A and B are shown apart, each in its own frame.
Chain A
């Protein structure tokens, strides 16, 4: 199914919002690879209306010099939920997007409904610091994101060398946006761990058993910091759960939303 795409101006930033499926809405917040419909959003759109905005600076959105912290992005996200009548909607966030969901939910607990966080950034465990991400190219990035780095899927999303100028532009744009917000402190907010106690949403935390960017030890840390959370670990999944195991991830999310 092909999603529709419309351009909206949210808090001064023009962004593409992808929408597909039918039924109650899910706001889907994408990871560092950018707003990809392939994988989990496509799969969730079978049972729900999936609304996936291009986050500020990522492909499909304007770049804004003045928006450069996760706090800025959280305020922007709140404006989007308000403007689109999505306050209280289910939010599914992967990696970078999961971190954004947690920033919003800890600041304004009533702004979001149930949460599914897939290997979210946002915390830092001294015993298991995050692995490399921004410095890695192509073949070196694949093991950080995929359980099977040599699969066709992994090679397509992180090729040794991008094959077209469009692919290069997408990659440069997505990388720049992620680095803009997550370079330092690296992939986390030191204030977040304490603030997670404010999150009022029942939350499903999903982790890939073979996530080499953020180890599954983080799943337990999130479950411990959130008041109403349960953590589940998916086999044969790396960091990019939604691309690598869309069926299994969707099944867990649907089961969680049905309880």
Chain B
């Protein structure tokens, strides 16, 4: 079992009446709410938190790319990753991920990820994401091109890492007469690739074929996560192999206190701040063509499985949207969920919304001393399973030609 500390680095000082007076924490949420003096303190706290995860026994940290919103203040997760690598010795950093279609040229991603991997001595996990739908407004990229850009950018990056340069890459969206990045990544043939998914079979097949990890997102009910995980495992079987436990994840909010009652009491206020303010706009902003018509219609029918539909603690518990309680409650629940999914990655959202440092830190410490070692021992057998080598498969029309 690998334990990752997942962080969004949210803005936690939105006005009390924000949800009542604003329709979105994304795209047009006024950046006058961003106070750089408080921002400096927040970055310091959040970065220290992730650095501290190593000493607490975590295997890695997950950082995320988000743009122009109060939800996540890491427009460049690669900068955060660089700082974490400089301040840790063995911890991995999963940049989950870089939003491939948002870059003028994805060659920049091939370069920066190769830098991070080489500088860190091979501790990078390279996450490739399509980017959140509101970010297509924030970066003014045509969302109807998102999937095709993603496929082509992927091909360019993997080729940049694995094909001897210089070579020409002439795609529909990205054209280079000379692809020849220095440095090349230290991990060979390239760092592990993680791709987050929200249930489309195409993405599962894309990952299964290439032996990439298909990572869940912490916003869906456990019923949905279980279904996605099962479908991904099926896709791997179709490719003639059994999914490695570390090709999937349980990505979930976790909060620990001395008793169940205390844990919920501390967890709920910052969580509802997140759910009521920061998620606002994520699905209410229209982004035409960002997902296929079929996928979008599927999502419309399953909105009840999305965390935004929750109103009460009972709703959260019913869907297992988070695991909150005493160390023993949390250990039991996580053990049950991890076994059920057969996954080898716990991506733990240990911080939510407006959670202050003492509230966050006390839970992290309890988790690290009372829960993590027991789960690690319980799932030790997973560590002997070899991780499959990636397959270089290119499907954008230009790269395949």
Q: Please, which residue of chain A has its CB at the minimum distance from the CB of B134?
A: A135
Contact of A172 among B284, B285, B288 (CB under 8 A): B288
Cross-chain contact A169 with B297 (CB below 8 angstroms): yes
> Which B residues from 130 to 162 make CB contacts under 8 A with A?
137, 140-145, 148
Cross-chain contact A65 with B148 (CB below 8 angstroms): yes
Please tell me the number of chain A residues within 8 Å of chain B, measured between CB atoms.
21
> Which A residues from 164 to 218 make CB contacts under 8 A with B?
165, 168-169, 172-173, 175-176, 178-180, 183-184, 186
Cross-chain contact B140 with A184 (CB below 8 angstroms): yes
Kindly state whether residue B286 has any CB partner on chain A within 8 Å. Answer: yes
Cross-chain contact A168 with B288 (CB below 8 angstroms): no
A134 CA to B296 CA, complexed, in Å: 16
Cross-chain contact A173 with B144 (CB below 8 angstroms): no
Contacts of B286 in A (CB 8 A): 134-137, 141, 175
Cross-chain contact A180 with B289 (CB below 8 angstroms): yes
Cross-chain contact A135 with B27 (CB below 8 angstroms): yes
Cross-chain contact A176 with B300 (CB below 8 angstroms): no
Kindly state whether residue B287 has any CB partner on chain A within 8 Å. Answer: yes
Contacts of A165 in B (CB 8 A): 297
Chain A min CB distance to B31 (Å): 17
Cross-chain contact B285 with A183 (CB below 8 angstroms): no
Contacts of A179 in B (CB 8 A): 142-144, 288-289
Q: Please, which residue of chain A has its CB at the minimum distance from the CB of B133?
A: A135
Contact of B293 among A68, A137, A173 (CB under 8 A): A173
Contacts of A172 in B (CB 8 A): 288, 293, 296-297
Contacts of B293 in A (CB 8 A): 169, 172-173, 176
Cross-chain contact B144 with A176 (CB below 8 angstroms): yes
Cross-chain contact A134 with B287 (CB below 8 angstroms): yes
Cross-chain contact B284 with A134 (CB below 8 angstroms): no
Contacts of B141 in A (CB 8 A): 184
Cross-chain contact A137 with B297 (CB below 8 angstroms): no
Q: Please, which residue of chain A has its CB at the minimum distance from the CB of B143?
A: A179
On whether A183 and B297 interact (CB within 8 A), knowing A172-B288, A176-B288, the answer reads no
Cross-chain contact A137 with B284 (CB below 8 angstroms): yes
A176 CA to B284 CA, complexed, in Å: 16
Q: Please, which residue of chain B has its CB at the minimum distance from the CB of A182?
A: B142
Cross-chain contact B144 with A184 (CB below 8 angstroms): no
Chain A min CB distance to B200 (Å): 15
**Max count, chain A CB within 10 A of own CB: residue among B142, B143, B144, B300:** B144
Contacts of A141 in B (CB 8 A): 286
Cross-chain contact A183 with B296 (CB below 8 angstroms): no
Contacts of A140 in B (CB 8 A): 23
**Max count, chain A CB within 10 A of own CB: residue among B23, B27, B141, B287:** B287
Q: Please, which residue of chain A has its CB at the minimum distance from the CB of B140?
A: A184
Contacts of A134 in B (CB 8 A): 137, 286-288
Q: Please, which residue of chain B has its CB at the minimum distance from the CB of A170?
A: B293
Contacts of B145 in A (CB 8 A): 68
A179 CA to B289 CA, complexed, in Å: 8
Question: B254-297 CB contact bits vs A (8 Å, 1 = yes)?
Answer: 00000000000000000000000000000011111100010011
B binding-site residues for A, Cβ under 8 Å: 23, 27, 137, 140-145, 148, 284-289, 293, 296-297, 300
20 contacts between A and B (CB under 8 A): A65-B148, A68-B144, A135-B137, A135-B285, A135-B286, A135-B287, A140-B23, A168-B296, A172-B297, A175-B286, A175-B289, A176-B288, A176-B293, A179-B143, A179-B144, A179-B288, A180-B142, A180-B289, A183-B140, A183-B144
Closest A-B pairs by Cβ, 7 of them? A175-B288, A176-B289, A179-B288, A183-B142, A180-B144, A137-B286, A176-B288
Known: A176-B293, A179-B289. 7 other contacts (CB 8 A): A135-B287, A140-B23, A172-B297, A173-B293, A175-B288, A176-B288, A179-B143
